[in-house]
Structure 1
């Protein structure tokens, strides 16, 4: 409510305050790298939980941006209403003739202030458009970085699964190698025991032979059998060793291949972790930029509200002074009207006396002087009639 008793419209609108310098935004941007890097290890271990939290934060940021855009649109509507009200006041504010000189300087200052505020509003609208474009650009970058992060997390999960499978296969291969070595050792011992048992049985056998001449042939046969058994044993041993070496080399090749895959997977995981760090840093920088823009918007609103409040106070003062001036003029005109009525009453009495005098002069024969007096009376009546019309018009104009 203004001072004249009429309700005033208070408008919230962004002022012409410029955005803060790029150095501040750069400090905010790069300052978030340390904070993002510190929580990287926990973010990687968290996995899907971190992804869910990041999505919720991005949804909150989108909600903040939507609220910011709606607030700016509402401020534009309120500015339009204020401009229409000012136009209506300017159209209805008509100063009576002779009163405008006193307030011309104040009106000129108000017009200059309105023009300056209009210019500042235009600048603010341009800055608002630039800010909206920048916000859209940052939103697209956020979406792209979030997609890249999701893709990196998916690839990281696949690599972890491959690493786990390769680790299990490596463990299976190592256990298979140990089993084969144990089995080959067991077969070697069994073969040696069988050969020793066979030789012992042959040596301990007591065969009765009647002819002593046959004994040399039996020893030769035993030696031949021993040689054959040793050859068979050596052949089996060589075959087992060759099979063992072939199997061991094949398993070693597979293990080397899996080691290379694991090393490559670790390198890719390291690259993906670095990408996640970069993405979290960019998200922190975007969050800081949004907070900075919100702070600038609040400053613009506060400054514009102060200017609009001061303008409304000036307008209220001018309207109050105008109402006082109109009331004073109306009082003066009423007093003048009363005096004019008294004058007209006196004129009527003078006219009555003049008629009596004219009648007396006609009776005494003074007709020429009477005609001159009549013409002067007619002129005075015409002057009084025109003056009364002007005064009536001024009364209606002031009371309107």
Structure 2
């Protein structure tokens, strides 16, 4: 079919022994070429070039889209892992919240029980307070009665003191009267003695008759002595009786005064004791009212705090449930988007 020339060929594994082979030449290649330009070839080449550019552009766009989809896939996988971890954490936190809410409910029940107990204690304290108030009113009434008795006894003591003063004044007057009567009696005796002595002198001077003047004088003197002795005895008896009566009156009034003073002292001690008991009851009443007020405030504060915490926890639990529902919905949307992207990526591949 053509001319053959000599040609040395070698193997791949190493040099082969030299040999001369025939060379065949295509005769068509030796014919002169037709160098005429086809007018449609330039248009075809241009179209092919444009198609290649378009294909390159589409290929670059597909590559960019694939890269973007891979990035979205990575992002979705990261979100998926994050949501899985968050769901696990939320699933772990939900029992914790429920336990905490249950604890708060128990605390609220305990607070309600304590409020009931405090209410019963408050009723008991109010009953005790009412008893103390009644006792205080009774003590006040007793004190008023004691004060009235004290005033009456004071009036009696004043009257007794006035009577004692009157009796002392009467005693002084009687003593002065007795002294006056004694002096008067002595003066009368002296006057009688003087008169008797004067009479005896006159009789002696006028001794014209034979009379026994000594007997007469002795008789008169005896009569006067008898009268004086009877008067003295009567005066002394009257004085003794008056003194005894005054002593008895003084002793009686002194005993009455002593008893009155003892009663006054007893009433003063009773008033002091009742005043101390009233002050003690007032202090206890104030302390009990303060304790009741503090207990009510503490109970109300604890109950309000427990209710606020329970409301906050219920709101937090409701919000957590809503967030969980939103996350589940978002997770479903992400999974749907991922599935669509996986299908689209599989389609482009």
Band the TM-score falls in, shorter-chain normalisation: 0.5 to 0.7
User: What CA distance in whole angstroms lies between the structure 2 residues aligned with 1:228 and 1:236?
Assistant: 12
> Superposed, which structure 2 residues align to 1:1-400 within 5 Å?
103-204=97-198, 207=202, 212=207, 214=209, 216-304=211-299, 305-320=301-316, 322-323=318-319, 325-326=321-322, 329=325
Deviations 1:253-307 (A, max 9, x none): 1222112222222222232223223212221221221232133224324433145
Tell me, in whole angstroms, the C-alpha distance in 1 between the residues paired with 2:167 and 2:95.
106
**TM-score of the aligned structures, taking structure 1 as reference length:** 0.53
Higher relative contact order (CA 8 A, sep 6+): 1
What are the superposed Cα offsets for residues 53-105 of structure 1, whole Å, 9 maximum, x if unpaired? xxxxxxxxxxxxxxxxxxxxxxxxxxxxxxxxxxxxxxxxxxxxxx9867433
Structure 1 distance, partners of 2:205, 2:302, is 140
* Residues 114-134 of structure 1 deviation map (CA, whole Å, 9 limit, x = unaligned): 212221112111211211111
Q: Which moved more, 1:131-140 or 1:295-304?
A: 295-304
CA change 1:218–1:333 in 2 (3 A) is same
Pair 330,214 (structure 1): closer, same or farther in 2 beyond 3 Å: same
Q: Structure 1 residue 141: deviation in Å?
A: 1.5
For 1:218 and 1:114, the matched residues in 2 are separated by 133
Unaligned runs of at least 5 residues, structure 1 = 1-98, 341-400
TM-aligned CA deviation for residue 178 of structure 1: 1.8
> What is the CA-CA distance between 1:247 and the residue it aligns to?
1.4
Following the alignment from structure 1 to structure 2, what is the Cα–Cα distance between the partners of residues 109 and 209?
A: 143
SS in 2 for 1:214: coil
Report the CA distance between 1:239 and its aligned residue.
Answer: 0.9
Q: 1:334 Cα shift?
A: 8.7
TM-score, normalised with respect to structure 2: 0.60
- Corresponding residue for 2:32? none
Q: Report which stretch shifted further, 317-326 or 297-306.
A: 317-326
- Structure 1 match to 2:70: none
Cα distance in 2 for partners of 1:208, 1:107 equals 145
- Quickly say closer, same or farther: Cα 1:322–1:188, change in 2 above 3 A: same
